Amino acid sequence: MGVTVREKVPGSGVYWVFIRHGKQRRSRRIGSEKAATYVAAGSERRLHEGGPAFIESAPVPMFKAYAAQWRTETIVPHRKARTAQYYEQIIAAHLEPTFGAMTLGEIRPAHVRAFVAKKLQGGAARNTVKNMAATLRSILYAAVGDEIIPSNPAARGATLRLAPRSPRARRGARARAGGAGAGRCDQVVSRPRPARDDAVSDRDAGG
């Protein structure tokens, strides 16, 4: 069995997944190398289990339904209860109000950039916004791996990076934090920077 990821046209930046399994020879255009790697891993797992190399087209789920499935299958069985609750809070309080009524295929990088900008302009803590973006990114990478969408619109290369603040801005933020109350939802989910780019660790969630 062979599942490989490479550019069909060298230097194009567009990656494909190639399948060589028994008499089966198939390929599928994916997009970014990271997205293609996710798809290849899923193909290899399904072939090992005797299933199809690729998932054929199916109705694209709504973000709200897929995020709930992602949390149930990916987070709850493998993370501490407090971490799972933290993810649920981020999804319910921040991601669902913006993306819940959209299908996964309708989400574009521009939507993600607007979401990040709105949260920052609304006064959400920068680390909180980073955790929101990291959670969204993880959910959408799972959708890429499930071959629901071809690429991740929340990937770092497609969305805004949070530029570092100036020393003056940091001093102002610390001064505001010193006199702020603890009743806002943003403060409830605010935690240290995630340990990895696309996930929040148990430690970050306080679990």
Residues in the chain: 207
Cβ–Cβ < 8 Å for 148, 104: yes
**CA–CA gap between residue 118 and residue 96 (Å, rounded):** 15
Predicted TM-score (pTM) of this structure: 0.59
The string of pLDDT tens digits covering residues 141-187 is: 999 888 788 889 998 765 555 555 556 655 665 665 555 444 444 43
The string of pLDDT tens digits covering residues 72-116 is: 999 999 999 999 999 999 999 999 999 999 999 899 999 999 999
The string of pLDDT tens digits covering residues 39-50 is: 888 888 877 777
